[in-house]
Structure 1
Amino acid sequence: MAVKLDEIRKAADRVAASLGLDVVDVEFTGTAKSRILCIYLEKNAEGRAAQAAIAAAAVADPEAGADAEVVVPERLAKGELNPDQLSWLTHEDCAEFSRDFGTLLDVEDLIPDGEYTLEASSPGLDRKLTRREDFERFQGCLLKLQTQEPIANNRHWQGRLTQCSAESITVDLTATRQNSKSRKTGVSTVEIALGNIEKAQLVPEF
């Protein structure tokens, strides 16, 4: 029996919402004897904003941050990282979600026919972008993407996401080194329809 990822995603969304979390992505990989269900999570918008505010206060007053036991990523403290790129997920968040969601999966028999391993984790700084809301949120960040249909004979693009509208995104190609096909197009920016994006992800800036 095939695994219904849509149903699993909806169930994961319900459990995550009850814990103040959002589901970023769901992946089901492996063979019949070694199947892995990966759920990528982050704090919801309210939780991320609260954690970012606490971190900002800790940066402004390190002693206060120490009293509150706040761990501020070094790059964030240096102003080198957009705080919205962080999931602010904790080990406790993952453990609590795994417990509740694992129980739901078994009760509703959403993964029939054998054993599986459930993994809950952060999407990381190179997170996937799958929805228009993702592109809106990460305007100003570097990304790389692949289109379904070529644009100027090229399907692979990398640059800074400068704009997102209801139907397309604009990428500044001058922000990163381009491959030979991109350079041959002779353009400095490219507009890509959202419906033409096959896959996209952030590129961490170090």
Structure 2
Amino acid sequence: MSTTQSERLRELLEPLVTSQGLDLEEIAVDSVGRKRVLRVVVDSDTGADLDQIADVSRALSATLDESDAMGEGEYTLEVGTPGAERALTEQRHYARATGRLVRFQLAGDGGELVARILTADDDGLDLEVPGVKGRKATARRVAYPEIEKARVQVEFNRKDQSDPNDTDEKEEEA
């Protein structure tokens, strides 16, 4: 997709997405055989439910049908939200990932870091780095310029703070 088409699509679609209370995260046009697929990724601070996705999809479809932004050929419109292991690239992404475990690739020789985001502000992140082999977790501050890449990690066995089966809480109460 040319930059011109990408910019035109963003200018056309972003106001519609914003009017639905969502952020336009990504636009991609892919060729699948003879067909083209326009993928639009939306999100918000509270996430996007199926009704919101359907509403924004209808609005985008109507606008695209009225314009020539996709040209004359057939295409399929797909509207969705970022995946579970989304890449974090903007401050709002980090704020939305508060409480989540994230794998960071730090700039320079900073190496890799896996930590939970505690807070996100305009300058950077307060993180909790899990302890290893029985050690306690440690706090760490990371500024945005120090982050080369960041991706949310899926956690299948995370113990919820309010989990009644959490043995640490039972021991403290006794």
CA distance in 1, matches of 2:67, 2:146: 35
Of Structure 1 and Structure 2, which has the larger fraction of its residues in helix? 1
Counterpart residue identity of residue 203, structure 1: Q
1:174 aligns to 2:130 (yes or no): yes
Task: Mark the CA change 1:34 to 1:200 in structure 2 (over 3 Å): closer, same or farther.
Answer: farther
The 5-angstrom pairing of residues 63-102 of structure 1 reads 87-90=47-50, 92-102=51-61
CA distance in 2, matches of 1:2, 1:192: 35
Residue in structure 2 matched with residue 197 of structure 1 by the alignment: 147
Backbone CA RMSD of aligned residues: 3.4
Q: 1:145 aligns with which of 96, 104, 118?
A: 104
Following superposition, the deviation at residue 174 of structure 1 comes to 1.9
CA distance in 2, matches of 1:24, 1:202: 19
Task: Mark the CA change 1:192 to 1:6 in structure 2 (over 3 Å): closer, same or farther.
Answer: farther
CA distance in 2, matches of 1:151, 1:111: 43
Counterpart residue identity of residue 89, structure 1: D
1:165 aligns to 2:136 (yes or no): no
TM-score normalised by structure 2 residue count: 0.64
CA distance in 2, matches of 1:35, 1:141: 35
Contact 2:10 2:27 in 1 (8 A): no
Aligned-partner SS, 2:108:
strand
Q: 1:108 aligns with which of 67, 72, 85?
A: 67
**Which segments of 5 or more consecutive residues in structure 1 lack a partner in the other structure?**
49-86, 178-187
Aligned-partner SS, 1:150:
coil
Residue in structure 2 matched with residue 11 of structure 1 by the alignment: 12
Number of residue pairs matched by the alignment: 151
Counterpart residue identity of residue 202, structure 1: V
Which runs of 4 or more aligned residues in structure 1 lie more than 6 Å from their structure 2 counterparts after TM superposition? Answer: none
Task: Mark the CA change 1:88 to 1:98 in structure 2 (over 3 Å): closer, same or farther.
Answer: closer
Following superposition, the deviation at residue 22 of structure 1 comes to 0.7
Following superposition, the deviation at residue 133 of structure 1 comes to 2.3
Following superposition, the deviation at residue 160 of structure 1 comes to 0.8
Following superposition, the deviation at residue 142 of structure 1 comes to 1.0
Residue in structure 1 matched with residue 161 of structure 2 by the alignment: none
- Superposed CA offset, 1:42-88 (max 9, x none): 4x55xx4xxxxxxxxxxxxxxxxxxxxxxxxxxxxxxxxxxxxxx24
CA distance in 2, matches of 1:203, 1:24: 22
Aligned-pair identity in percent equals: 23
Following superposition, the deviation at residue 120 of structure 1 comes to 0.9
Task: Mark the CA change 1:99 to 1:137 in structure 2 (over 3 Å): closer, same or farther.
Answer: closer
CA distance in 2, matches of 1:113, 1:126: 35
Flag the structure with larger Rg.
Answer: 2
CA distance in 2, matches of 1:142, 1:195: 19
CA distance in 2, matches of 1:194, 1:29: 29
CA distance in 2, matches of 1:105, 1:176: 52
Residue in structure 1 matched with residue 80 of structure 2 by the alignment: 121
Contact 2:64 2:70 in 1 (8 A): yes
